[in-house]
Amino acid sequence: MDSLDHMKENLTHDVVNNAFDRVEPLFNLMVTQGWTDGRSGIHVIVMHGLGNGFRAERTFGELDPSKHDYEAIAGSKADETWRFRRPSDFILLSDRKPGATIYHGSVYNIRYGYAVAGSGLQAYFDKLVCQAVDANIVDKLGDPTDLGDPPKGYKIEGDFLVPA
């Protein structure tokens, strides 16, 4: 059993769809302001677990399928992000499984244990949209602030962990 399995109960389609709805104006602004070099779509996936795990997807704008299979690329980013428990830009190509995408543009939420991945824009904008989706999911779920007790020999002083 994955140590984060208990967290997936909090991640529902309603929560993710709410996050998608809240991020859409940001995406529209990016496109209308011309920040995306003429690209006008992104496919975003939120997932917890592989195979039969939780998965929600949405396409913002219009993707050009003649250039790339953006849904497959986003899926590959999500799989690799979940598998390694870190954003795709921190996964070496030599560590990725055969058939995985070479692109990056994802985030991994370590507190709630889910991956958010996107494809369709430049990689840094893919990641920005994913970060916005993640922030809106956390806003809906609530940011767990109980970090537990400090390690032996340490204490919390103001905003910092210091020797006791």
With 70 as the cut, is the pLDDT of residue 112 above it? yes
**Separation of alpha carbons 147 and 71, rounded Å:** 36
CATH 3.40.640.10 fits 5-163, yes or no: no
d(CA 5, CA 25): 32
pLDDT of residue 151: 81
Pick the residue with more confidence: 121 or 9? 121
- pLDDT of res. 5: 52
- Kindly list the domain boundaries of the chain, sorted by start residue: 5-163
Q: How many C-beta atoms surround the C-beta of residue 68 within 10 A?
A: 14
pLDDT, greater one: 51 or 29:
29
Are the C-beta atoms of residues 47 and 54 closer than 8 Å to each other? yes
Mean pLDDT of 26-30: 93
pTM tops 0.85 = no
